[in-house]
Each structure stands twice: as C-alpha cells, then as structure tokens.
Amino acid sequence: MEKRIHAVITGRVQGVGFRSFVEDEADDLGITGWVRNLYSGEVEVIAEGNEKNLIQFCQKIKAGPSLSYITDFKLEWLPATSEYRNFNIRGTFISD
C-alpha cells in the first residue's frame, strides 16, 4: 500500500550534501517526491512509496551523509496522492 511522508529535518543539514544524499536514497528505494532546503536552515521532504521502503528511507535519512548531524526529525504519515513520477531536488523555500 502506497503512503506519503512529510518530514522536516533539523541540524547540520545544509551545505553538507544532504539533499543529494536524500535524492540518491529515494532513487535506490523507488520513492517519489522531493527534498528542499528551508530558509530556516532545515530540510523538508515529501516522499511517497510503499510503507516498508518509506520506513527504510527514513532510517537512512535520519543517519544522513557523513558531514551532517541530525538534531530533530519531525515525521508525519499521510495518504499517498500519487502526484509524483520521480524524486527531485527543489530550490530553497523562503516563506513570507
């Protein structure tokens, strides 16, 4: 069964190859969605796939690449929308 996660990762996650790492892990697991930096210094992920792969994906991104350091990992499970065909890196989101 397909599911969706929304994650916000805090710590040393910008400037360390974190988004590329997340994209590679998603591609390896057949997960669709996106990853982007937030202006606040966090990283946001929307990902869809089967539950087993999403659990594995979360475990991998919680560990992060070698130069990263995760201090918080907020995770929300949602119903899948099947709106994505692949996984990509988006530009930094700057909120109002």
Active site residues: 19, 37
State the SS3 of 39-83: CCCCEEEEEEEEHHHHHHHHHHHHHCCCCCEEEEEEEEEEECCCC
In the Cβ-directed half-sphere of 45, how many Cα atoms lie within 13 Å? 31
